[in-house]
Amino acid sequence: MRTLLPLAVAVPLLVAAGLSAASAAFQRRNRWALDGLAILTAAAVTAMLMALTVGAGSAQVYWFGGFRPAHGVALGIDFVASPLSAGLAAFAGLLVTAAMVFSWRYFERVSTFYHALMLVFLAGMAGFCLTGDVFDLFVFFEVMGVAAYALTAYRTEERGPLQGALNFAITNSVGAYLSLAGIALVYGRTGALNMAQVGRALAGHRPDGLVVVSFVLIVVGLLVKASIVPFHFWTADAEAVAPSPVCVLFSGAMVELGLYGVARVYWSMFGSALGHRGAISSTLLALGAATAVVGALFCFRQRHLKRILAFSTISHAGMFLMGVALLTPLGLAGAAIYVVGHGLVKGALFLCTGIVLHRLRSINETWLHGRGRRLPVTGAVYILAGLGLADLPPFATYLGKGYIEESGYSHGMAWVTAVLIITSILVGGAVLRAGGGVFWGLGDAPSEDPRMAAEASEEHSETEEGRGRTPLSMVLPPLVLVALAVAVGLLPHLGSVVQAAAVRFQDQGAYNATVLSGARVLHAQAPQPPEPTGITIADVATGVGSAAGAAVLALVSLYWRRLPLLRRGLEPGLGLVGPIRRFQSGVVTDYVTWIVLGLAVIGGALALSIR
């Protein structure tokens, strides 16, 4: 069982290199072998990680090279499979598999590049989730980074993908180097890179400047990946231009991995050393709420189908961060379930958008209005997924959001509920408006600001010439993803199982003992008492409420011009165009300025509250 830990990373890497070395063997006639091999590998890795998730009752530790720690000093690098870490990696594997099946007939793949990069990307994500060493975390951050930058620029004949990839690569690299500076700082203090060992060395001392600064630097690098305001600008650019199947991974897994990284370093290295749970919690909560609201507002005004989804990713990343930031088991469990539910429905939405692009050759909501009637199945899946995104029960999203709200409420933060509901309505409303207009031709085509339409005009090369009908290999993946989102939401005892996993994740003492002394900790201790995980009326009510709100908002904005008593010139979200264009400028030097500014603000806030 334990051997699966290294294999989950080594196998996709080996296959990627093997495909590349034998690229001459995969001529046009043998393309199916290439696709088959790549899909099979991704599926096998997913299965391995699934087995680890289920089997990792108490965390499993694997020491590379057999270098076990001696007297509490780690000599080598370890992988740790706990249910949450292996589960997230398995989820990433599932999305990679779905994306690869979708891309089979979707576009022309040059040589073996696409398959090799996707598999390296998968290995990078799995390694990032599993590693127990903070420098190794940086290495896998870069592995998935470099593969992702190259995949973003896949359609290199257009301008958008090049600019998106440049913005993505530069901002994320700056973030990575800030993280590395933080890692070097904490190494200079503790002489350790193993996260458990660092945590043990730091614990019990008063947190001083070095601890705070290295925590903030590491976290800011990860928040860039997690697309948290004000580090989020690259996300909209990259997800608007990357091929749709690749966007599934960016939106459903990669961004979430940034947040996972924050949780990992907090609950293995810094948690007990920093103390001041209140200050850290409120700083991260504020960032999360700001991200959720900004993302939702910007999302609502978009007319570019992929940009709508990209801003929705940003908004949801903010909601996930709020769940993590509560620092409670239920909050973390809610975030975990929400990540899975969101990744599934968002994946389906991106794939449906890919089908639209494949068949109708456009991505512009205004132009597409009503033209999607030719695609009834795609339309139905899109609308369903949109309702799922707006947290309609029994999609898993409602459960995740419900848990975050409950946890916030029981700690006297009812405003968390308000923020989550409002952002869900806005984001879901935008997606449903687009779906209802494009696929069912409801209402009027939304007006379009010519200044925002430029980029949508150049979107032809993503997919091959559309055929008469959509291939089954393209319809099936989104269908399966939506069905899975419902199935996960209906799993019995999901809440209590995930909360137990979250308790284990947050028990720093147990993590240290497992990693450094090989202890089998059967009963993890939560820093906060576990909270009830029953499915309450409130969960269902807020879920139904936000889905209904989103549907109403979508209908209102579609039929706006026909509503009586309203000024014709005004339209919902009109005032947002200016700010969107000013902030989301596309100029990467602006984005780096925002990173510096954000670092200053977060650092300042924590410095003042912890010193």
Partner 1 sequence: MTPGVRRGVFLAGMAAVLAFFLWGLVGLPGFGHYPGPYGDVLNAIGIRQTHATDIVSAVNFDYRAMDTLGEEFILFAAATGMGVVLRHLREERERSAVDEARDRTDPGTSEAVRVAAITFTGPTVVVGWYIVSHGQVSPGGGFQGGVILATAFAMIYLAGEFLALKRISPVPLADAVEAVGAASFAIIGISALGVGAAFLANVLPLGHMPGEVDSAGTIALISFFVGIEVTAAFVVVASEFLEQTLIVRRH
Partner 2 sequence: MQIFPFIVVAWILAVGLYGIVTSRHLVHLIICLAVVQSSTYVLLLGVGYKAGAAAPFFSDIPRSTPAVDPVVQALALTDVVVEAAVSALLLALAVQAHKRFGTLDPEDLRQLQG
- Interface residues with partner 2 (CB under 8 A)? 135, 139, 142, 145-146, 149-150, 153, 156-160, 162-167, 169-170, 173-174, 177, 180-181, 184-185, 187-188, 191, 193, 236-237, 240-241, 449, 451-452, 454-455, 458, 577, 580-581, 584-589, 592-593, 596
Which residue, 47 or 213, is less far from partner 1 as judged by CB? 213
CB of 209 to partner 2, least distance (A): 12
Question: Which residue from 136, 237, 256, 539 is in contact with partner 1, where contact means CB under 8 A?
Answer: 136
CB of 126 to partner 2, least distance (A): 19
In three-state secondary structure terms, 80 is strand
105 part of the interface to partner 1, by CB under 8 A: no
Which residue, 213 or 279, is less far from partner 2 as judged by CB? 213
What whole-number distance in Å separates Cα of residue 435 and Cα of residue 78? 46
Residue 165 near residue 586 (C-beta atoms within 8 A): no
Which residue, 3 or 27, is less far from partner 1 as judged by CB? 3
Task: Give ∠ CA 606-610-611 in degrees, rounded to 5.
Answer: 110
Task: Give ∠ CA 610-333-221 in degrees, rounded to 5.
Answer: 45
Which residue, 237 or 406, is less far from partner 2 as judged by CB? 237
Q: Count CB neighbours of 324 within 10 A.
A: 27
608 part of the interface to partner 1, by CB under 8 A: no
CB of 153 to partner 2, least distance (A): 6
Residue 310 near residue 239 (C-beta atoms within 8 A): yes
Which does residue 159 bind out of partner 2, partner 1, none, counting CB within 5 to 8 angstroms by kind? partner 2
In three-state secondary structure terms, 204 is coil
Which does residue 451 bind out of partner 2, partner 1, none, counting CB within 5 to 8 angstroms by kind? partner 2
> For the chain, what is the radius of gyration of the CA atoms?
23
Q: Which residues in 139-178 contact partner 1 (CB under 8 A)?
A: 139-140, 142-143, 146-147, 149-150, 153-154, 156-157, 162, 165
Question: Which residue from 129, 192, 228, 257 is in contact with partner 1, where contact means CB under 8 A?
Answer: 192
CB within 8 Å of 608: residues ≥ 6 apart: none
7 part of the interface to partner 1, by CB under 8 A: yes
Locate 187 and state its tokens: 């190494």
Residue 259 near residue 189 (C-beta atoms within 8 A): no
517 part of the interface to partner 1, by CB under 8 A: no
Provide the 8-state DSSP code for 10.
H
**DSSP per residue, 128-161:** HHHB-BHHHHHHHHHHHHHHHHHHHTTSTTSHHH
Which does residue 177 bind out of partner 2, partner 1, none, counting CB within 5 to 8 angstroms by kind? partner 2
CB within 8 Å of 120: residues ≥ 6 apart: 12, 13, 16, 143, 147
465 part of the interface to partner 1, by CB under 8 A: no
In the stretch 537-576, what mask flags binding to partner 1 with x, by CB under 8 A? ----------------------------------------
600 part of the interface to partner 1, by CB under 8 A: yes
1 part of the interface to partner 1, by CB under 8 A: no
Which residue, 240 or 280, is less far from partner 2 as judged by CB? 240
Residue 194 near residue 78 (C-beta atoms within 8 A): yes
Tell me how long the chain is: 611
CB of 165 to partner 2, least distance (A): 6
237 part of the interface to partner 1, by CB under 8 A: no
In the stretch 53-92, what mask flags binding to partner 1 with x, by CB under 8 A? ---------xxxxxx--x--xxxxx---------------
Locate 547 and state its tokens: 């889905």
What whole-number distance in Å separates Cα of residue 284 and Cα of residue 445? 39
Which residue, 14 or 377, is less far from partner 1 as judged by CB? 14
Print the SS3 string covering 246-266.
HHHHHHHHHHHHHHHHHHHHH
In three-state secondary structure terms, 520 is coil
**Which range in 33-41, 49-57, 128-136, 467-475 contacts partner 1 by CB under 8 A?**
128-136
CB of 310 to partner 2, least distance (A): 11
Residue 341 near residue 543 (C-beta atoms within 8 A): no
What whole-number distance in Å separates Cα of residue 84 and Cα of residue 3? 18
Which residue, 116 or 498, is less far from partner 1 as judged by CB? 116
Which residue, 2 or 189, is less far from partner 2 as judged by CB? 189
Query: Identity (one letter) of the amino acid at 80?
Result: V
